[in-house]
Structure 1
């Protein structure tokens, strides 16, 4: 089974899905990570602003930061190997790494039925 770690740049919160303007990539990624965690897969995100020690402990990520600086983030590590630098994984990539269907990671809008009754 794959182990995926995503080393984020310094974000305002652990997911980056906050504030007045949210990057759609971060929203998609947060939903995919949540879904994968619920399914029991090993996927972790580390935020440079909140967990800098994780960036120091991982020698490969630390080397990228020394060579390229924080603009190289995010860095994606799969089974202790760097597979992506400077961009987040797509749902297709995540599905391949965890051997699941990409459709399992798609955000589905809930179907909510409202039964509105007006008082007479």
Structure 2
């Protein structure tokens, strides 16, 4: 099975919905990753702020960080091979790499939020 790893820059969340404005690119990537996880693909995201060990342990990503600094992130690997540096893969690229249809990568996570009313 193919393995995709995305090494994100340091950020507070990977969904793009925190902070003063929504980042549509992060939202798209989060939906694509979620969709692939639901299909049981081996896909992982690492955040530099939360998972620094993953960056240090991966020789290729570590080398990019030493040569270009954190502005080179995100970095995407497919089976350990660098596929993208500095931008996230498009849904069409992920679909091609993993042999799925690009429109299958738009599933949104469904989260139940309990509502509490004081009457």
Range class of TM-score, shorter chain: 0.7 to 0.9
The CA distance in 2 between the partners of 1:48 and 1:79, in whole Å, is 20
The CA distance in 1 between the partners of 2:26 and 2:10, in whole Å, is 13
CA RMSD of aligned residues (A): 1.3
The match for 1:19 is: 19
The match for 1:115 is: none
The match for 2:8 is: 8
The match for 1:93 is: 93
Higher CA-based Rg: 1
Equivalent pairs, count = 108
Q: Any unmatched runs of 5+ in structure 2? A: 109-119
1:58 and 2:53 correspond: no
Q: TM-score, normalised by structure 2?
A: 0.86
CA contact under 8 A between 1:11 and 1:48: conserved in structure 2?
Answer: yes
The match for 1:45 is: 45
Q: Any unmatched runs of 5+ in structure 1? A: 109-120
Q: TM-score, normalised by structure 1?
A: 0.85
Which segments of structure 1 move beyond 2 Å, counting only runs of 4 or more? 14-17
CA contact under 8 A between 2:12 and 2:18: conserved in structure 1?
Answer: yes
